Structure 1
Amino acid sequence: MGTPEVRRKDLKMINGYPMVYAFALNWERMEEFQGRPDDIVISTFPKSGTTWISEIVDMVLNDGDTEKCKRDVITTKIPMLELYEPEHNISGIEFLKTTPSPRVIKTHLPTDLLPKSLWENKCKMIYMARNAKDVTVSYYHFDLMNNLHPVPCTWEEYVLKFLDGNVPYGSWFNHVKTWWEKKKDHPLLFLYYEDLKQNPKEEIKKVASFLGKTLDEKTLDKIIHHTSFEMMKDNPMVNYTHLPSSMMDHSKSPFMRKGTIGDWKNYFTVAQNEIFDAVYEKEMSGTTLKFCTEIQSCCCKFLSDY
């Protein structure tokens, strides 16, 4: 049997969630994955600052040592649990089997697709959420360049697909709400992309405290500089230019595009914004989650548990 064709294939349903076709091929091994008690899990809905928070966690764990953080590319330092690409024999699970403890594991999985062993072992988890409108724009551009995703559609079609949860990993609304609920009974640090953008030092202190680290001001400043968007965009260890172009075509759109708050205003029409707001209001009613969608609104901080 030859290697299965996985480029630009339609999503495959896994337990009610639309999943990247290639990842679905490896699902049996995914479910059997064995977590370790000292695993650290970084979870996000896609395009919510995953690589950013991953590099911050790596810097915190290595006490701000930039040379240690250059030891390998981000996909090897912090493997993506569900990643599977048969043509180049890339498997997150295989990477993780040979990764010494304590492992840091990246995932975009919704709570009920995450392997049970990670919950049972009470692994520390960090979840970062980003406002839905900016995620929609970023995810659309990611679809253009990520050849493991289905054939891209128009922006107009994409907004509706996103609202319907017809994108890899399903509904953004379900994702953020269920992860938010998990912090009630699990060691989980819930962060907002916008807070990290506006006040990186305070948010990095939260990460350090959660991971049992105490960092001085000089180290915090070094981490902020090293993980700034400008530095990371030009850093080949973290900007995903190391992956084959058959997987990610940076000529269509860079993996790290803008990293801003409020870019959605450059894409949403008035009509699209009204449709989005109506669905958002309905989906998010009854939750205490609060997001800001532009820099001005981020000044009004919500009351956090942390």
Structure 2
Amino acid sequence: MSMLAEIDKLKLPRPELFDFHGVQMIHYFTDNWEAVQNFQARPDDILIATYPKAGTTWVSCILDLLYFGQTSPERQTSIPIYERVPFLEMFFPPILSGADQLEKLPTTPRLIKTHFPVQFVPKSFWEQNCRIIYVARNPKDNMVSYFHFDCMNCVEPDPGDWNSFFQRFMEGKMVFGSWYDHVSGWWKKKQTYSNIHYMFFEDLVEDTGREIDKLCSFLGLSPSAEVKQQITGEVQFDNMKKNSMANYSTIPVMNFKISPFMRKGKVGDWKEHLTVAQNEEFDKDFRNKMKEPTLQFRTEI
């Protein structure tokens, strides 16, 4: 029996949030804390960091295609993205932990996913001067996407109804903590650590090709125009949503009857969810909490 089938049998209870070094977390991402903190990064590792549901899989697929799409195209159709780009802090027996998966990864550079706030990143990434790509998404769409994700993913805490989730998001009582702290912490780090490429989900939606050009320039890659065009086509949302190696449909802890992992990939879907009163409340809260004047978000394009 496969490990995923084993998990399906477990019928896991929903985990509870708890405070971990000042950040709300669940045990799946803290149980392997010491091993993760002692993880030995290599100078050519590339870390993809995001708050959950901000475009992690999208950027992971783009990087995987940039680095390995030409040399081993079969990866795209035979290996799920979560094995090609392991999730560093994940600890979910009987599946190999993210850190162990990374030790066994045959490809170079290693593409690594994390949702850690900046202060949780293992120190070897900074010591090795690794390149880091951070993706931020406007908070309204991020919140809506996170809500649907928590509804369908049984290894996330119970989301409750939309209204209570909305309040909890503003209070930062989410797995991986406050959205505000996350996007601002990484933005501040970028001021002192030059190897961070900070990008926005909305820019990727607006012009994927342009954002791929910027990524290539950050990573020192120079694919041909034809290859870039091919990658841009492959990572369009509808193509990825249909691709079982990208859309997480092979993981039984996610209930696709409730919602797909890749739902809409749009900018502005929050308008279908927030009431007028909620939107006003959120805007007011945003003005109070967003202390970084240089960090600007677009809630529509």
Give the TM-score normalised by structure 1: 0.90
Aligned to 1:231: 239
Q: More deviation in 266-275 or 96-105?
A: 96-105
Aligned to 2:206: 198
Residue from 89, 100, 105 that aligns with 1:99 = 105
Shift of 1:63: 5.5
RMSD: 1.7
User: Is 1:148 paired with 2:155?
Assistant: yes
Matched position secondary structure for 2:49: strand
Q: More deviation in 154-163 or 207-216?
A: 207-216
Q: More deviation in 136-145 or 285-294?
A: 285-294
Matched position secondary structure for 1:125: strand
Residues 133-176 of structure 1: CA distance to partner in whole angstroms, max 9, x if unpaired? 00000000000011111122110000110000000000101100
Residue from 173, 179, 188 that aligns with 2:186 = 179
Q: Is the 8 A contact 2:48 2:113 kept in 1?
A: yes
Structure 2 unaligned blocks of 5 or more: 1-6
Q: Is the 8 A contact 1:21 1:148 kept in 2?
A: no
Residue from 237, 259, 264 that aligns with 2:265 = 259
Aligned to 1:137: 144
Residue from 39, 42, 59 that aligns with 1:53 = 59
Matched position secondary structure for 2:132: strand
Aligned to 1:89: 95
Matched position secondary structure for 1:258: coil
User: Is 1:250 paired with 2:256?
Assistant: yes
Where do residues 1-306 of structure 1 align in structure 2 (5 Å cutoff)?
7-62=13-68, 66-86=73-93, 88-100=94-106, 101-186=108-193, 187-243=195-251, 245=252, 247-295=253-301
Matched position secondary structure for 2:155: coil
Shift of 1:71: 4.7
Matched position secondary structure for 2:192: coil
Q: How far apart in 1 are the matches of 2:246 and 2:82? A: 8
Aligned to 2:4: none
Shift of 1:68: 4.4
Q: Is the 8 A contact 1:48 1:130 kept in 2?
A: yes
Give 2:268's aligned amino acid: G
Matched position secondary structure for 1:183: helix
Q: Is the 8 A contact 2:24 2:176 kept in 1?
A: yes
Give % identity: 42
Q: How far apart in 1 are the matches of 2:21 and 2:15? A: 18
Give 2:50's aligned amino acid: T
Q: Is the 8 A contact 1:64 1:220 kept in 2?
A: no
Q: How far apart in 2 are the matches of 1:263 and 1:183? A: 29
Q: How far apart in 2 are the matches of 1:8 and 1:224? A: 37
List 4+ stretches of structure 1 deviating above 6 A.
none
Q: Is the 8 A contact 1:63 1:215 kept in 2?
A: no
Residues 171-197 of structure 1: CA distance to partner in whole angstroms, max 9, x if unpaired? 101100111111222201111111111
Q: Is the 8 A contact 1:6 1:22 kept in 2?
A: no
Q: More deviation in 212-221 or 199-208?
A: 212-221
In 2 relative to 1, CA 135–157 (structure 1 residues): closer, same or farther, beyond 3 Å? same
Q: How far apart in 1 are the matches of 2:180 and 2:219? A: 27
Shift of 1:99: 1.2
Matched position secondary structure for 1:105: strand
Matched position secondary structure for 2:246: coil
Q: How far apart in 2 are the matches of 1:286 and 1:124? A: 23
Structure 1 unaligned blocks of 5 or more: 296-306
